Structure 1
Amino acid sequence: MATKRVKRNCGEKGVQNEPDIMAEDRISQLPDSVIYYIFSFLPTIHLVRMSRVSRRWRRMWVSTPFLYFDCHFDDVTFTEKVNRSSMFLKFVGNCLRCRKLYMQPDTFITSFKLHTYDKLGHHAAQEVDNWVRFAIQSRVKELDLQVGEYCIPQFVFTANSLTQLRFHALGFEVASLSTSSSLTQLKLRALKLESIISIEAPNLFQANLSLTDGGYGSASCFDLLHFLAKLHGLKKMKLSTFWEEDIIFPEDIRNTSSPPLPNLKHLEASLYDEHKKNSELLDFLVWCAPSVETLKINGKILL
C-alpha cells in the first residue's frame, strides 16, 4: 500500500495548503486472478476484514475460489464469556451464507479447508456435512478437513470434481470407499492402524500417509497390507510413523503375500525416532515397492 500527499484549502483564514494523506490502493488495481492467488494464502477471516478496503474487494471475497477456515483466531481478543468454538462455527456458517447469496452463478471453489480441533456435537457435525456438501456442489477440487471426531460422509468419495483429499484423524462412515477417477492425491494424517479403511482410486498418483502408534498383531498387519494393495497404482508416496515395528511386516507374511505397491517409483519414509533396524527396514520397503527408483528414510537417500 503506497501513499501520496495532496494539498487542500478549506477556504478558512489561517489555513493554507494543509497536507493530507490519501491512500493509493495498488493491490486493488491488480487483475482478479492475481488477487485470488493472494487470497489463497490467507485464512478467510482476513479476507472478510480486507473487504472493508474497497467495494471491489467486498465483491471479490464472496467469490474467491479459495476458502480457508481455521479455528485459531490468534489475533482476535475474546471476552471470557465467549465460546471460541461456537464463535468459529458461527463465523463459518455466516461466511458460507453470504457466499450463497452474492456469488455469481458460474462461481466454483478450488480449495476448501476447514481446521478445528474441537469435538463436534451432533448438530455441529450436521452443519459441517452441509458445508462440505456445498463445497462439492461448487465443484471443489481440493478438500482439506481437520475436525475433531468428525466422520467423513460417503458422498465425498463420489464427487467427480475432487483431485486432492487431505484428512487428519477423521472417521469414515463405511470401511470400503470407491472414489471417483478424478482423484490424484491423497493425504491421510493420524490414520489409526486398527480402523484402516479400503480405498479404491484408479488414477491416484501420490499419497502421504501418517500412521499413529500401532503395536499391532498379524490381523492389523493384514489390514494394512490390504489398504496399501488398494493403492497399487501409486507412483509416489510419503509414509510416516512412530517406529519401524509399525510398518515392518513379519517375514512369514511377506513370504506368502504379493508386494502391495508394485508400481511405486518414489518412496520417502519418516520415523519419529532414529531407526535402529536400517537394513531390515530397507529390505521391507524394497519388498513393498519392488520397482522403486528413489528411496529416502528420514531424509537420507538410500536408493
Structure 2
Amino acid sequence: MITVEHLTKRYGPHAVVDDVSFRCEPGTVTGFLGPNGAGKSTTMRMICGLTPPTSGGATVAGRPYRQLANPGREIGVLLDASAQHAGRTGREALALAARTMGVDRRQVAAKLDLVGLNAAAAKRRVGAYSLGMRQRLGLALALLGDPRVLILDEPANGLDPEGIFWMRGVLRDFADRGGTVLLSSHLLREVEAVADRLVVIGAGRVVAQGGKDDLLAGTGTLVRARDPRALRLTLDRAGLPATAGTDGGLVVRAEAEAVGQAAADAGLVLTELRPAGSGGLEQLFLTLTAGTSTKEAVK
C-alpha cells in the first residue's frame, strides 16, 4: 500500500507539487500520468525519501520510506536506470545490493534470468549497457529484495516492442500476486493495457484519479461547428478547455449542455454535439491536461 496525503513541494514561490493525495492498493497497478514538468518525478522522489516535502507526507506499508528498517525488502524503486556504477558489471551491481539487503546470493542469478540478462550481459560493465539493458538491470534491482511495492518511473524507456510487452507481463504478474505498483510512463497505450487505476497530474495538482474503466467511460463532449476557429475562440472565452479529438472536432471537458449553451450565446451553428465516447487513454490524457504546461519546470 502507498498512501500520499496532501504532498506539496515548493522551490521558492513555485509549487512543483501542490496538495497531491492518492492511494495505491495491493493487487493493483496505478498509472501515474502527466505532461513533462507536471510533478510526477518529484512526487515519486518524495515518496521514496529522496526529496523532502514542503508539507504533507507519504507512507509505504504504513510508514515513511526513511523509517523502513530495510527499504529494499519492502519497496522496489526504479527512478533512474542510469543510477548505477558504470565500472561494475551487472552481476556485481546485483551482488552488492543483495549483500546490503541480506538477500540470498542465489537470487542474483534468478533475477538476472527473470529480466532477460544472460551470462554474457551479466559480465559486461554497466557503462557498456544500452538504455534497454540498464532498464532491465534496474528492474532486477527493484525486484531483488522480493518487495511488496514497486515504484517505477519510465521503466520502458529504451525497450523494444518485445521488451515493452515483456515488462507489461512482469508488472501484471507482480500485481496479480498481491503486489502494489505505481507506474509513471509516457507510453500511454502500455499504461492503458496494464493499469487498473489512474492518477493524472497537471501543473503539480491531481486533475483526475480513479478506476481506469470509470475514467475512460467519460472523456468529455465532442463538438463540431461550421466555423471551427470561432468555436475554439468561443470555448476559450467561456473557460471550457478543448483539445483536438482523435477523430476530428474538439473534445471539451464539460457537459454537452454547457458546450451547447456557449455556442448558442455566440450564435454558432453546430454540426455535431455528443458525448466523446471512449477515445482511449490518449484522449483522456489530452482532455484532462488541456492548458497545462508541457515544458519542463525550471527550478
| Fold equivalence (TM over 0.5) | no
TM-score between both structures, scaled by the size of structure 1:
0.32
Higher relative contact order (CA 8 A, sep 6+): 2
Larger helix percent: 2
- Name which one, 1 or 2, has greater alpha-carbon Rg: 1
TM-score between both structures, scaled by the size of structure 2:
0.32
